[in-house]
């Protein structure tokens, strides 16, 4: 498949076009640019039609939800409550918008699939699990985990999505963690697993971890990291374990990452969605540090330090240009 026609990528681009055209500052030039984007291929056209149909179907739901909960018409100052999210999903189900509930536009609310996981965390939520004498797990924000095996005490889990730090305490069979197209095994180790896109990133923090993908094996020592996806297992590299481990301290720091990467992290810890509209701004290298509970403050830092313009829309959506 042509990488430029990846369905997930095209869906995200179509969502950005949809929001741009609904911005009060949208111009005729924006509309013409969208038409050119849509005309690039049948896949582009399908992505636009699907997103447009979903948002059009959701408009009555959004209006109904806004009447019930006025907070939905303003950027939330704090994390939305669980009852508000349940009411929103209930409204979607009541109107028959099952596809939207299963695959929410821009991840503005939890997917119904989230609630089928054995363990889950919401936005900016972290959770610790003691699954057996051998296996302890700390879940980061927006993470879903299922237990694997016939018995709940088995030392095997599947990271469906998100990020988790796993501690294997030794003794008995090795701890096994499945994620994407591969698996990790360890007897006495602490390692971080991140699965927030098509790739799985595994970092060994203590001990050793064996990583397997499609028959290929690599053993990571402390301070080594490897990435894999459906296409294969990459070569392990040495990394800064303190940076990988930083989320457990409640802070995020960036030293040389692009602003686009920073926004990607902010979206993991902040309700709603931040969308970048400026390619030059997205490519800028950033140095900043903030607490994960103050993601909105990070947006103000981007505005003050890098000249970004913020446009706030209902539902916690922020356009960054």
157 pLDDT band, cuts 50/70/90, is very high
Q: pLDDT tens digits for 251-308?
A: 888 888 899 999 999 999 988 888 888 888 889 998 888 888 888 888 999 899 888 8
The C-alpha atoms of residue 305 and residue 313 are separated, in whole angstroms, by 22
Q: Which residue has the higher pLDDT, 231 or 72?
A: 231
Q: What pLDDT, on a 0 to 100 scale, did the predictor assign at position 39?
A: 83
Q: What pLDDT, on a 0 to 100 scale, did the predictor assign at position 130?
A: 92
The C-alpha atoms of residue 91 and residue 105 are separated, in whole angstroms, by 15
Q: What pLDDT, on a 0 to 100 scale, did the predictor assign at position 229?
A: 92
**Residue 79 near residue 271, CB atoms below 8 Å:** yes
Residue 143, burial from CB neighbour count under 10 angstroms (0-12, 13-18, 19+) = buried
HSE (CB half, 13 Å, CA atoms) of 209? 32
Using the structure block, give the residue that is written with the tokens 């305490």.
169
Going by C-alpha positions, the residue among 179, 218, 223 that lies closest to residue 200 is 179
pLDDT at 75 over 70: no
**Partners of 146 in the β-ladder:** 158
Domains along the chain? 3-115 (no CATH), 122-244 (2.60.120.1440), 250-320 (3.55.50.30)
**Partners of 203 in the β-ladder:** 192, 225
Q: Please compute the mean of the pLDDT values over residues 215-238 and round it to a whole number.
A: 95
pLDDT at 194 over 60: yes
Using the structure block, give the residue that is written with the tokens 């999505």.
161
**Residue 147 near residue 131, CB atoms below 8 Å:** yes
Q: What pLDDT, on a 0 to 100 scale, did the predictor assign at position 47?
A: 84
248 pLDDT band, cuts 50/70/90, is very high
Backbone angles phi, psi at 155, to 5 degrees: -85, 60
**Residue 213 near residue 235, CB atoms below 8 Å:** no
Q: Please compute the mean of the pLDDT values over residues 219-236 and round it to a whole number.
A: 95
Q: Where are the beta strands (DSSP E) in 259-305?
A: 273-276, 285-291
211 pLDDT band, cuts 50/70/90, is very high
Q: Which residues contact 117 (CB under 8 A, 6 or more apart)?
A: 144, 145, 146, 160
pLDDT at 243 over 60: yes
Q: pLDDT tens digits for 81-125?
A: 334 434 433 443 343 344 444 445 556 555 555 666 889 998 889
């Amino acid at each position: 498949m042509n990488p430029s026609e990846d369905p997930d990528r095209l869906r995200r681009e179509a969502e950005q076009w949809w929001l741009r055209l609904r911005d009060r500052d949208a111009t005729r030039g924006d509309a013409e640019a969208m038409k050119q984007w849509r005309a690039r291929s049948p896949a582009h056209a399908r992505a636009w039609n699907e997103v447009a149909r979903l948002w059009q179907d959701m408009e009555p739901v959004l209006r109904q939800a806004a009447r019930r909960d006025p907070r939905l018409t303003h950027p939330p100052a704090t994390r939305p409550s669980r009852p508000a999210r349940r009411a929103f999903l209930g409204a979607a189900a009541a109107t028959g918008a099952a596809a939207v509930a299963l695959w929410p536009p821009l991840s503005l609310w939890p997917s119904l699939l989230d609630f089928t996981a054995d363990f889950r965390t919401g936005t900016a939520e972290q959770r610790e699990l003691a699954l057996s004498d051998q296996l302890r797990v700390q879940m980061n924000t927006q993470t879903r985990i299922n237990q694997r095996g016939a018995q709940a005490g088995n030392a095997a889990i599947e990271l469906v999505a998100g990020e988790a730090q796993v501690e294997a305490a030794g003794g008995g069979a090795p701890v096994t963690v499945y994620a994407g197209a591969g698996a990790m095994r360890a007897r006495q180790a602490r390692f971080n697993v991140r699965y927030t896109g098509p790739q799985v990133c595994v970092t060994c923090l203590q001990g050793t971890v064996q990583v397997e993908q499609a028959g290929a094996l690599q053993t990571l020592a402390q301070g080594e990291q490897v990435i894999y996806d459906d296409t294969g297992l990459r070569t392990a590299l040495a990394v800064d374990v303190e940076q990988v481990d930083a989320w457990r301290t409640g802070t995020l720091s960036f030293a040389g990452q692009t602003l686009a990467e920073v926004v990607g992290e902010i979206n993991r810890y902040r309700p709603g969605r931040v969308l970048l509209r400026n390619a030059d701004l997205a490519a800028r290298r950033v140095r900043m540090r903030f607490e994960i509970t103050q993601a909105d403050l990070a947006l103000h830092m981007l505005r003050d330090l890098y000249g970004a313009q913020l446009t706030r829309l209902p539902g916690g959506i922020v356009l960054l240009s």
